[in-house]
Amino acid sequence: MTLNEIAYNILNTYRGGRSNHNDHISLDQVKFTIKYYRAMMIRRDMAKHGFVSNGVEQDLKCLELEKIDASKCCNLKTSCDVFRTKMPLPKFVRLNFNDAITYAGDITGLRSYQIVEPHMVQFLPWDKYTHDKKKVYILENYLYLYNADADGMINVRGIFEDPEKLNIYSSCEGEVCYDDNSEYPLPMDMLQMLTAGILNGEMKMLVTTNSDTTNDAAQDSPGQIPPQSSGKQ
């Protein structure tokens, strides 16, 4: 199912199939709820089982790399160049100890590079056993390469907070990584739990919040003249 289909299904189920409604819940509100509920379920699943289904993973295809100066100061240059992705990466789902990046490596998708934390990069040259291994790290949403052959492209896969954010990435053939017709990355068993959870919890909260907002707006709307006293005591 697409995200729109899931959102319509939840909204229609909550309204009991009625076309006339006064709950003031928008489709965008339901879609936002689906995204954050999905991320929460993935974090819980990972904490409980130590792994998550491949059905929540998305592929950024081939990301173009660029060579930049390692300096963090705009007007100062060093003699050290580093390679990183030209485009920043979408935000990954936050797990217990790291971001949910599942693969970073060559464009065949078969040879992965070791993923390390940015603060460990300074110690890598003194690592007796793996100092010469290919590694990557994420800093300020960009993927950086260490000891990796910069052949112009890198493949990245992961579990992202908002799957729709992949609509600006595309394959070499120009096929976008995600659009409105894409299947939403959530297995059917997790989709059933997500739907039940939203219907039993978040939808009621949305109705209450929207109802309070509507009532406040009605009370504060301009142009309403308070009733006048008749003057009789």
Per-residue confidence (pLDDT) for residue 50, from 0 to 100 = 83
Max CA pair span of the chain: 96
Is residue 159 within 8 Å of 59, Cβ to Cβ?
no
pLDDT of residue 76: 65
Going by C-alpha positions, the residue among 204, 197, 210, 208 that lies closest to residue 34 is: 197
Nearest-angstrom CA–CA distance, 25 and 206: 7
Task: Write down the pLDDT at residue 19.
Answer: 61
Helix (H) / strand (E) containing 85:
strand 81-85
Q: What are the backbone dihedrals phi and psi of residue 151, each rounded to the nearest 5 degrees, phi first?
A: -90, 15
Spans of the chain below 70 pLDDT: 17-23, 74-76, 79, 131, 148-150, 206-233
Domain boundaries, the chain: 1-56+185-201, 58-168
Q: From the centroid of its chain, how far is CA 162?
A: 3
User: Which amino acid makes up residue 98?
Assistant: N
* Amino acid at position 87, single letter: M
First to last CA, the chain: 68
pTM of the full structure: 0.79
pLDDT confidence of residue 22: 63
pLDDT at 23: 64
Report the pLDDT value the prediction gives residue 31, as an integer from 0 to 100: 95
pLDDT at position 79, please? 66
pLDDT value, residue 228 = 47
What is the structure's pLDDT at 214?
Answer: 44
Q: What is the dihedral of CA 202, 214, 19, 185, to 10 degrees?
A: -30
Question: Looking at residue 216, what is its pLDDT?
Answer: 45
DSSP class of residue 183? P
Burial call 173-186: b when 16+ CB within 10 Å, e when fewer: eeeebbeeebebbb
Q: In this predicted structure, what is the pLDDT of residue 103? A: 94
